[in-house]
Amino acid sequence: MKNFRDMEDKTKTNQVQTASMNSTKAPQKVEVVVANSSASSEVNILGELSIFVLRIGFCALMIHHGLEKLQDPQGFAEFVVGKYFPFLPGDPVIWTFGAAITQLVCPLGLATGIFARLSSLGLFSTMAFAVYFHLLDTGLEGFPLAVVESHNYAFELSFIYGAISLYFLCAGPGRLSLFRKSNKITYYPKST
């Protein structure tokens, strides 16, 4: 019984000494490689190509919508921004140019992978405004079961674009981009 108590006392003493040594040391940087599918040597080529095609196609269509706004900025400002977004401060033309520039610059960032998540955030916010506009303008149009005359709900395309930009915001641009993030995570462990 005495040997067991001696061992227990030594263990407690060692724990106290270790804790006091750890409290005086500065936290050390630790890099951990996260095991995920993108870190493995096997790459899903078809999956990565699909993400690449989705990203490039989405970006090309967004650029088209940005150019569309620049063709008649005064009309868009008056009939869309001024009418449906009166709560926005400032001149509606400024907001029109802001949306157009977002739809021209952010697709370039997303397509190349430079600031892809930030670009996706800009595109997602623009699409959130677009969905809001369409819902105010035409409502739900009997969604999800109604068959509308134009065969598509007015908010449908904006919603799909928003969902795609949300995907790239959360998942990143994929492996086939100029600047993809490595799979290393740096953290500083807490001392006990």
CA distance 192 to 186: 19
Same domain, yes or no: 81 and 9 = no
Q: Which domain holds residue 12?
A: 2-26
CA distance 115 to 109: 6
Which of helix, strand or coil describes residue 33? strand
Note the pTM of the prediction, 2 decimals: 0.71
Give the chain's count of helices (H) and strands (E): 7, 2
| Number of structural domains found in the chain | 2
Same domain, yes or no: 44 and 108 = yes
Backbone angles phi, psi at 67, to 5 degrees: -65, -35
Residue 191 lies in a domain: no
Residue 192 lies in a domain: no
Same domain, yes or no: 6 and 73 = no
Same domain, yes or no: 10 and 63 = no
CA distance 129 to 131: 6
pLDDT in tens, 125-137: 999 999 999 999 9
Residues 6+ apart with CB under 8 A from 181: 172
pLDDT in tens, 15-68: 656 555 555 555 566 555 444 544 455 778 999 999 999 999 999 999 999 999
- Both structure tokens of 53: 């095609």
CA distance 134 to 80: 10
CA distance 53 to 62: 14
Same domain, yes or no: 55 and 115 = yes
Same domain, yes or no: 7 and 61 = no
Element (H, E) at 132: helix 116-138
Same domain, yes or no: 20 and 101 = no
